[in-house]
A and B are shown apart, each in its own frame.
Chain A
Amino acid sequence: MTTELPTDITSAAIHMDKPSSSWLPPGLALQKVDERIMTLNVGPQHPGSGHMRLIVQIDGDYIVACDPDPGYVHRGEEKMAEYRNYITNVPHLERPVIHDSCNVLYPYVLGVEELLGIEVPERAQYVRVIAAELNRCIYIMYWLAIYGIFLGHSTMFMWPAGDRELLIDLMEKMTGARVTHAHFIPGGVRNDLPPNFEGVCLRQVNYFEKRIKEYAAVFYDNPILISRTQDTGVLSRQDAIRLGTTGSVLRASGVDFDLRKKEPYDVYDELDIHTNVMTAGDAYARSKIPWLDMMESCKIIRQALQKMPKSGSVRVKLKPNPKGKGLDTVYKRVESGRGSLGYYIVSNGKPEPYRLKMSVPSFRNLIALPYLLKGEKLGNMPSVYWSLNYWPVEADR
């Protein structure tokens, strides 16, 4: 199925009126073109949308137009960051995605280290890679559990939610918190690994990998799932690039792009990473890529545990109130569980950042939603929507 794309991305709401002098709230701008067309609000109180409203126009069972309306969980993270110093920014900047809290902090920490001119010890870099990969798996398992329940597959809700506990237990041993670890800090990580961690980590990650391989029979090879998700919400390779999608959405459309390989940060260039790419670009491919990524993460964790220096410092001692060196800007990005996540930080030589901007993958992937839903059945909306690897709080930040 091919969907016609308007050349201008700002006219994403397909039936949007010409911009008039009076501003209209989102969705109200959707014009009623026919008596048959009905406008439906999905959300913002959760059933099938997360904390976000999807304003959908339907003709019978088919979606004519869709206007996503994010912003219900806006927290003002960027403004808050301007009033806190580089260290006390750490606990609140991980709040947008608490399941992926190490990855969401990663670019901030890398950026601040460049601003302050800090060299991070090698062991700390390996600890960070292990923590980031464990966090990626924790995030994907949570995402997968919700994807299962969106499709009415309650087994796929229970299994990932339970198996996720294996990795949460590891993160708890490593950082002291189940979620919101506040573990990464400019200059390294907060604490060294606990004694005997390597053995426990290896055992639980191996068992975790064995468990997720069992999902193939119950979910990914299940003919009912395949018939529901295959050929729905097809995003072609050109559209995926042109709309600016990232992460698993981009890789499911056949673009080999992974920042861990293309722009290696910390010690990712010393590790052997394989990027999973699928060419179909439908909801099935977008739901399978994160699952394949988890198996890749397990391999990366094993490599990192093997190559990690067995002893050494994990944190550089900083001055009490670290400052940047005059007017300076930095942009750093990493591959998070959802795609490329970047921080643009402006420093003016004070202990607080002058300006901090988060460039989040969730918002980039959301842009593709109106195009994907046009012409789909309403029943396929949750599966297409959640396959975009979208996290409402991160998009609103």
Chain B
Amino acid sequence: MGTATGIIRALNSGIKHLAVKRFTLRYPEEKLKFVGDGYQFDPSTGVGIAGLKGRHLLFHDHCTGCQLCSIACEGVAEAIAMVKVPEEHKHNKKAIMPQIDYGKCVFCGLCVDACPFYALYMTNDYELSSFSKEGLIYTPAQLQVKPYVAQDSEIIITDRGASHG
């Protein structure tokens, strides 16, 4: 193949893309859809349930304050600290629950694997930016709130190419 033919073929290959759909995800307006409600773990079988490893969700009525999540995090990020909570539960004598610093968290989900009481899950919420370092520290009360996420964009593959829609 001659040099001129090769260059024309290369240019032609680029020109063909004028007819191909745009693949870019227009992020703040469109958000990718994930499977499930976030990463979860079933301690009875010892296997996780697929989902995005985003911000945590803490169930106050399940948490016993056993600190296993905090111990699991010690070797990874030291993001989890156990803090006093005002409310009283029969199963949580010490009244302590995890507080997570998202400035340190690496979203590995080993804390979820460590929890034997179905108290700590992860959610699809990944937009955690804040103007201050203190704003990244989520107290047990904040972790209790189920996030509102509007994520519905998926990769669609057609004859004209792939696009997010």
Contact = CB atoms under 8 A, between A and B. Distances in A.
A174 interface: yes
8 contacts: A84-B75, A88-B72, A88-B75, A90-B110, A175-B50, A194-B51, A217-B12, A316-B46
A169 B155 contact: yes
Contact of B47 (A85, A195, A217, A313): A313
Contacts, number: 114
A192 B41 CA distance: 11
Interface string A89-102: 11110000000000
Given A176-B52, A204-B155, A204-B157, A190 B7 contact: no
Contacts of A194: 35-36, 50-51
Contact of B50 (A166, A193, A217, A318): A193
Given A165-B23, A191-B48, A203-B157, A173 B34 contact: yes
Contacts of A221: 1, 6, 9-10
A104 to B, nearest CB: 15
Interface in A189-229: 190-195, 203-204, 207, 214, 217-219, 221-224, 226
Contact of A190 (B9, B24, B76, B113): B113
Nearest to B4: A223
B10 A218 contact: yes
A177 interface: yes
B23 A162 contact: yes
A172 interface: yes
> Which 10 A-B pairs have CB atoms at the shortest separation, nearest pair first?
A88-B75, A191-B48, A317-B46, A223-B6, A91-B108, A194-B50, A84-B75, A176-B53, A217-B13, A194-B35
B53 A177 contact: yes
A87 B46 CA distance: 14
A166 B162 contact: yes
B122 interface: yes
Contacts of B9: 217, 221
Contacts of B3: 223
A175 B75 CA distance: 21
A15 B24 CA distance: 50
Given A83-B75, A176-B109, A224-B7, A218 B52 contact: no
A163 to B, nearest CB: 8
Interface residues of A, number: 46
Interface string B14-26: 1000000001110
A371 B14 CA distance: 37
B118 interface: no
A102 B32 CA distance: 23
Most buried by A among B13, B77, B106: B13
Contacts of A173: 34-35, 50
Contacts of A182: 108-110
A66 interface: no
B47 A166 contact: no
A226 B3 CA distance: 10
Given A315-B46, A315-B47, A190 B109 contact: yes
B23 A218 contact: no
B13 to A, nearest CB: 4
B107 interface: yes
A223 B12 CA distance: 14
A145 interface: no
B157 A217 contact: no
A75 B149 CA distance: 36
A315 B2 CA distance: 56
Contact of B106 (A91, A166, A193, A313): A91
Contact of A222 (B7, B46, B74, B155): B7
Interface string B81-118: 00000000000000000000000001111100100000
A155 interface: yes
A186 B165 CA distance: 38
A84 B77 CA distance: 12
B49 interface: yes
Given A91-B110, A207-B162, A224-B10, 15 more contacts: A88-B76, A91-B106, A92-B76, A172-B32, A174-B50, A177-B52, A177-B107, A180-B107, A191-B47, A192-B49, A204-B155, A217-B10, A218-B13, A223-B1, A313-B45
Contacts of B51: 176, 194
Nearest to A176: B53
B50 A91 contact: no
A217 B5 CA distance: 11
A195 B35 CA distance: 8
Contacts of A192: 47-50
B32 A169 contact: yes
A155 B3 CA distance: 19
Contacts of A177: 52-53, 107
A162 B161 CA distance: 12
Nearest to A314: B47
A314 B50 CA distance: 12
A32 B53 CA distance: 55
Given A162-B23, A166-B162, A88 B110 contact: yes
Interface in A15-45: none
Nearest to A352: B75
